[in-house]
Amino acid sequence: MLGRLVNDVLSEMPPEFPWGDTLPLFRQADVRVCNLECVISDRGSPWKRTPKAFHFRTDAKNVQVLKAARMDAVSNANNHALDFESEALSDMLTILDKKNIARAGAGRDLAEASRPAFFERGGKRTALVSFTDNEPAWEATERDPGVFHVPVDPKDTRAEKLFGLVKTARPHADIVIVSAHWGPNWGYRPKKRHIPFGRLLIENGADIVFGHSCHVFQGIEIYKGGVILYSTGNFVDDYAVNEEERNDESFIFIVEIEEGRISRIRLYPTLIRYMQAGIAPPGLAEKIAEKMRTLCAEFGTEAMWDEAGHCLEIPLKGRMPSSPLAQ
């Protein structure tokens, strides 16, 4: 989230600032994807048709923040894409295209909002499909700009469309990622309806379900060789910190792939301080990791702390393709 106070800081600081000391990890990765929880534009006024407490916009020049981390793709399917109305949304889409940052989840009409983003890096092709169940009033239509709105209900026709998009993308990509901006802001455990829905996304061809919206991270499920990140929490923002549900704590989630299959996930604990992400210091990093390890165990997912790598590791190689909860 690069708006509000983060935007103010960026009027004086370089575009690398919000990433803190996490930049080397991003730059070492082959592909980088994030949820962009604001609109990028110098135009627009706060949304009038839907009452909202918060409106997030960052200056057009701050697309360089994404470029500083070499971000390959972003999801725009969230509850801030239309905070400054359709002209700001249109600006953002144009800005991202000009900077060669792939995007999915919002558009000038439904066809554009629901269209998967395909991009190639290092000879491997990735597909990004993005949806949100937030802000139903912002649903894109054949004539109206907005987001790809999908209720978390497998029987809904929009969910059927989502599953169809994932299934269609599968033969055309080496990796299929589904970005899901779903559910409420709080809670260390996913809503019950998210679990079967996430599994259906894997069954229809997704390799990774990249969940967000909740301000705190949730457990990770390994299902039929795929990975469901129910919530990845917050990474960069200016939000007040909840002392019970620590919305300033999260991870950099690195998914490793060997011979076309996910072989390992490495989670590097992070902490937000003064509008800047950072690698969590020793002691706190282990506590953050232990919280995640406990949440993962509820899905039958084994995670272990790698002292040398300063990260939490989830190995997939050699394990059964589905977790005990998949039965």
pLDDT in tens, 131-183: 999 999 999 999 999 999 999 999 999 999 999 999 999 999 999 999 999 99
**Domain spans of the chain, in order of start:** 4-246
Q: Does domain 4-246 have CATH number 3.60.21?
A: yes
User: Please, which residues have CB within 8 angstroms of residue 278's CB and are 6 or more apart in sequence?
Assistant: 20, 21, 22, 270, 271, 272
| DSSP H stretches of helix in the chain | 4-9, 23-28, 63-68, 85-98, 110-114, 157-169, 194-203, 284-297
CA distances from 264 to 92, 225, 258, 304 (A): 34, 11, 9, 12
Question: What integer pLDDT is reported at residue 317 of this predicted model?
Answer: 63
Question: Where is average pLDDT lowest: 25-29, 241-245, 319-323?
Answer: 319-323
CB 149 within 8 A of CB 101: no
For 213-261, the pLDDT digits (tens) are 999 999 999 999 999 999 999 999 999 999 999 999 999 999 999 988 9
Q: In this predicted model, what pLDDT tens digit does every residue of 102-121 receive, in sequence order?
A: 999 999 999 999 999 999 99
pTM, whole model, 2 decimals?
0.95
Could you give the CA distance from residue 304 to residue 295 in angstroms, rounded to a whole number? 12
Instruction: pLDDT band for 321, please (50, 70, 90 cuts).
Output: very low
pLDDT at 322: 40
- Banded pLDDT at 50 (limits 50, 70, 90): low
Q: Would you place residue 92 in the very low, low, confident or very high pLDDT band (cuts 50, 70, 90)?
A: very high
